[in-house]
Amino acid sequence: MSSEPQFLSFKGLKQYTPETGWGQVNSILKSHTESLATTKPVVPDNVPTLTEMPDAPAGQTPPIFDALIQELFEQLRVPPSDDLTQTWRTIAAEVNLLTERMALQRELQDRLQKLDHELINLRGTILSHLNEVQHAADQQLSSARLRAEVSALAQTKLSAKLTNNR
């Protein structure tokens, strides 16, 4: 089992540890935090990092594990030439510009999709209104034809009645 407490601290809650037996959770938590505070990690002295060269006796080159690693470190220590630096700066600026333009392109494509959707909706609305107008015009035309037929019939009947009454 780990020596870390595994329970939340509640009044009256007990925990068993093989070293101390049953005990209050609060006292186990306190002793655990005190032991963590007093113990410090042990770090050996004079440990070289990857970028540091270990000390070597005078007149000798420090031992390197790999010749390629040594060459890499030497290249990292040499500052880049101005032409190369300027070229990389230009490339970085162009990449930034490309990134901005691609973001703008995505934004414009999203706006275009929204506009296309709105256009489709407007076309549908216009067609719906045109159908309503056509239906109303058809009803008006039917009413006008019916009125014309009624008028023609009334005229025929009236002229027949007037001719008979003479």
- DSSP characters for 89-118? HHHHHHHHHHHHHHHHHHHHHHHHHHHHHH
Name the token pair of 71: 């060459």
Residues of the chain scoring pLDDT < 70: 1-13, 24-65, 79-81, 166
Q: In the prediction, which pLDDT does 1 show? A: 47
Q: How many residues are there in the chain?
A: 166
Contact 22, 16 (CB under 8 A): yes
Q: In the prediction, which pLDDT does 49 show? A: 58
Give me the sign of the Cα torsion angle 46, 49, 53, 56. positive
pTM surpassing 0.75? no
Q: In the prediction, which pLDDT does 88 show? A: 83
Give me the sign of the Cα torsion angle 82, 84, 90, 93. negative
Amino acid at 13: L
Q: In the prediction, which pLDDT does 166 show? A: 67
